[in-house]
């Protein structure tokens, strides 16, 4: 069959809207019609050439929602017409990682996913008979995609695609980082670095669990109003505070934050985030994805004195189990997604969505098919 897709033919080049050939689902795979997709900073990161796993040509996008059109042999948990969210972190419930209950990082298909192919080692996309690669096991910038069954969360049918697509990455990552990775508790203090599509969901998660103080740090003061709406209690612009940012934040939080979250992908910020946490128990959660070759540093003394550095992928969520619950939270009005979707575009204008992100004008742009 044919599918309309925004293809990244090379790093640093605008996406091109083309018609691709899409092979149908093989055993254990599912054909999905994507109805809507968000644009996450990680799509830009890979397009920029900074991702060591970035392979081209590929179809980017990993924050989508859609409908099952067809299922391959042996697929039991999904049927035609089901509404789904593709999962870049699958949940096979059988691998060592899934069975450990210690991580959400299912390993069943990670190796092939990182190479841009399906578990059988081939791509389902072709452009003029040349293969085009998948991305993060999702490729939601295509109207139709093929995804392994274990990488699909079945969701309720009354949930609007143009909102719940964001649960495919940003919402789950931000809220999950608070509740599943940090396991932050009521009354805690927290500092959130980067008030974009992820950071605002961290703030929303902190408000949900009843954090006492939520400090937001961003170089763009234009992010302040939205962050306040989502629960931020104090805003700090690092360009105004300068080199004294860490002591400033330690003082503001009464000796250091219980939790901090990096939502920038900047390794200098990651160090500041660790060092502004409280001696003895502070935890700093790295969410941001840093460029190839970048490394984090701190004095070991920071860890000797009890601070903990952690990272999180997809907020620690087990996708098939947790994503439908988060969709319920949205439908019950317990979380706000609508205000974070600041822009909507048709596929033909997807490159404008990347521009809006760069210019700091959007939180999330959603592309509708």
Among 3, 37, 42, 140, which residue interacts with Zn ion (rule: CB under 5 A)?
Answer: 42
Does 364 qualify as catalytic in the annotation?
yes
Residue whose CB is nearest to ligand NAD in the complex, by number: 196
Q: Could you tell me which stretch among 13-21, 77-85, 308-316, 338-346 binds ligand NAD (CB under 6 A)?
A: 308-316
Nearer to Zn ion, 40 or 47 (CB): 40
Q: Which of 300, 245, 253, 305 is nearest to 281 (CA)?
A: 305
Question: Of 18, 37, 161, 122, nearest to 88 (Cα)?
Answer: 37
The CA distances from residue 265 to 19, 273, 276, 304, in Å, are 33, 11, 17, 24
**What backbone torsions phi and psi does residue 119 show, to the nearest 5 degrees?**
-55, -25
Beta carbon of residue 26, minimum distance to ligand NAD (angstroms, whole number): 28
Those residues with Cβ within 8 angstroms of residue 31's Cβ, 6 or more apart along the chain or in another chain: 22, 24, 25, 68, 69, 70, 71, 144, 145, 146
> Whole-angstrom Cα distance, residue 329 to residue 72?
31
Q: Tell me if 342 contacts ligand NAD by CB under 6 A.
A: no
Query: Which tokens sit at 72?
Result: 């391959």
Q: For this structure, is 41 an active site residue?
A: yes
Among residues 29, 37, 83, 106, the one annotated as catalytic is 106
Backbone φ, ψ for residue 15 (5° rounding): -70, 150
52 binds, among ligand AHE, Zn ion, ligand NAD, none (CB under 5 to 8 A by kind): ligand AHE
Catalytic residue of the set 276, 278, 364, 365: 364
Residue 360 sits in the site that holds ligand NAD (CB under 6 A): yes
In contact, 250 and 276? CB cutoff 8 Å: yes
Of residues 267 through 306, those in contact with ligand NAD by CB under 6 A are 269, 287-289
- The answer to whether the beta carbons of residues 253 and 215 sit under 8 Å apart is yes
Question: Are 348 and 17 spatial neighbours (Cβ–Cβ below 8 Å)?
Answer: yes
- Select the residue interacting with ligand NAD from 28, 90, 197, 324 (CB under 6 A): 197
**Among positions 54, 90, 238, 353, the unique one binding ligand NAD when judged by CB under 6 A:** 238
Q: Does 168 bind ligand NAD (CB under 6 A)?
A: no
**Residue of 3, 29, 37, 40 marked catalytic:** 40
Neighbours of 100 (CB within 10 A): 9
The verdict on 226 binding ligand NAD (CB under 6 A) reads no
Q: Is 188 a catalytic residue?
A: no
53 binds, options Zn ion, ligand AHE, ligand NAD, none, Cβ within 5 to 8 A by partner type? ligand AHE
110 has catalytic annotation? yes
**How far does the chain reach from its first CA to its final CA, in angstroms?**
17
Which parts of 39-98 interact with ligand AHE (CB under 6 A)? 40, 42, 51-53, 88-89
Run of H or E including 235: strand 234-236
- Residue number, 57 or 196, with CB nearest to ligand NAD: 196
Task: Report how far residue 126's alpha carbon sits from residue 148's, in angstroms, rounded to the nearest whole number.
Answer: 18
Give the interface with ligand AHE as residue ranges (CB under 6 A). Answer: 40, 42, 51-53, 88-89, 105, 110, 169, 289, 313-314
Supply the residues annotated as catalytic. 40-42, 62-63, 92, 95, 98, 106, 110, 169, 364
């Amino acid at each position: 069959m044919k599918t309309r897709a925004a293809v990244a033919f090379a790093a640093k080049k605008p996406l091109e809207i083309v018609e691709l050939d899409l092979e149908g689902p093989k055993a254990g795979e599912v054909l999905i019609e994507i109805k809507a997709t968000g644009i996450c900073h990680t799509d830009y990161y890979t397009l920029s050439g900074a991702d060591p796993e970035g392979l081209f040509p590929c179809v980017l996008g990993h924050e989508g929602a859609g409908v099952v059109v067809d299922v391959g042999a042996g697929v039991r948990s999904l049927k035609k017409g089901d509404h789904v969210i593709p999962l870049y972190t699958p949940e096979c419930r059988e691998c060592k990682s899934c069975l450990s209950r210690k991580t959400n990082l299912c390993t069943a298909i990670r190796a092939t996913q990182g190479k841009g192919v399906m578990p059988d080692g081939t791509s389902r996309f072709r452009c003029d008979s040349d293969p085009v690669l998948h991305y993060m096991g999702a490729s939601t910038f295509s109207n139709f995609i093929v995804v392994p069954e274990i990488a699909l969360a079945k969701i309720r049918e009354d949930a609007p695609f143009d909102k719940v697509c964001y649960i495919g990455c940003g919402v789950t990552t931000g809220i999950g980082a608070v509740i599943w990775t940090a396991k932050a508790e009521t009354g805690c203090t927290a500092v959130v670095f980067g008030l974009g599509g992820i950071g605002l969901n961290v703030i929303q998660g902190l408000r949900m669990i009843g954090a006492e103080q939520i400090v937001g740090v961003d170089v763009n003061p234009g992010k302040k109003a939205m962050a306040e709406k989502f629960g931020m209690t104090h805003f700090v612009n690092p360009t105004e505070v300068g080199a004294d940012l860490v002591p400033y934040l330690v003082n503001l939080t009464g000796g250091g934050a219980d939790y901090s979250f990096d939502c920038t992908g900047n390794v200098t910020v990651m160090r500041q985030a660790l060092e502004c946490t409280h001696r003895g128990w502070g935890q700093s959660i790295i969410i941001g994805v840093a460029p190839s070759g970048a490394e984090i540093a701190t004095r070991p003394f920071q860890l000797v004195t009890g601070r903990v550095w952690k990272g999180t992928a997809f907020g620690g969520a087990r996708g098939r189990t947790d994503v439908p619950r988060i969709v319920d939270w949205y439908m019950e009005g317990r979380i706000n997604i609508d205000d974070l979707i600041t822009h909507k575009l048709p596929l033909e204008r997807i490159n404008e969505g990347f521009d809006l992100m760069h210019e700091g004008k959007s939180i999330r742009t959603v592309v509708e098919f």
